[in-house]
Structure 1
Amino acid sequence: MKKAEGAFLTISELADDLAVPQHILRYWESRFPQLRPLQRSGNRRYYRPDDVALARRIHHLLTVEGFTVKGAQKALTAGNDGGDPVPSAVSQDILARLETVRADLARALGE
C-alpha cells in the first residue's frame, strides 16, 4: 500500500524509493547538514516531506548530473541546486546568438 502524499517515510521506504541502500542515506545525513530526519526511539528515522524532497535532489545531483559529494554540498549551500547555473537573461541572450549562428551555418551549407 502506498503512503499518502506528505506522509513521513522510514529509511527503508525512502531507500526503496530512490533505489539506494540505506547506508547511503545515512552517509548523506553525515555529509549534508540540511538532511536531518526525525529520530524516534531506537534511532528510527522518519523523513518529512521536505527531507524526502532534499534526498531526491541530492540523489539527482549525484547520479544524474554527475556532481561529486563536495560539489553537491556547494550547490545546495549556495542556493544553486544545479538547475540553472546562469541567470536566465544571460541564457536567453546566448541562446539567441547560437540560433543566429546556426541559421547562418545552415544557409552557408545550403540547407
Structure 2
Amino acid sequence: MRPTGTEIPEKRYFRIGEVSAITGLEAYVLRYWETEFPSINPARSRSGQRLYKRRDIEIILQIKDLLYQKKYTLAGAKRY
C-alpha cells in the first residue's frame, strides 16, 4: 500500500541519504522510526552504515502516509 507517485529505484540496498531523498523524510526521523517500528530493520555495512532494502522503504512510506496524511498517532500507526 505505497502512496502513489513514489518511485523506488531498482537497487538491492539503499543508504540512509538515499532513503531520505526517496521518502522526503530527514535522516533523524528514519533513525527514530527504527526505534519505534521493529519492522524497519536495516542491515549494517561493515563500516556500520544502514543499508535499507526495498521492503524497508515501502514500510517507511506506509508509516509516513499513516502519520502525515491519515493523521494517525504514533501509537495508532504501530497498531496498524
TM-score for both structures, normalised by structure 2: 0.82
Matches within 5 A, 1:1-111: 4-75=9-80
- Between the two proteins, the alignment pairs up a number of residues equal to 73
Deviations 1:51-97 (A, max 9, x none): 1111111111111111111110011xxxxxxxxxxxxxxxxxxxxxx
Which whole-Å CA distance do the structure 2 matches of 1:66 and 1:44 have between them?
31
Q: Which runs of 4+ in 1 moved over 2 A?
A: none
Instruction: Describe the SS at the equivalent of 2:79.
Output: helix
Shift of 1:4: 4.3
The whole-number CA distance in structure 1 between the counterparts of 2:52 and 2:43 is 6
- Between the aligned residues of both structures, percent identity stands at 27
Cα distance in 2 for residues equivalent to 1:44 and 1:21:
16
Structure 1 residues not aligned, in runs of 5+: 76-111
TM-score (norm 1): 0.61
Mapped to 2, the partners of 1:57 and 1:25 lie a distance apart of: 13
Q: Cα distance, 1:7 vs. partner?
A: 2.9
Give, in whole Å, the separation in 1 of the partners of 2:10 and 2:30: 20
Q: Provide structure 2 residue ranges, at least 5 long, that are not aligned to the other structure.
A: 1-7
Deviation at 1:6, TM superposition (A): 4.1
Q: 1:40 deviation in Å?
A: 1.4
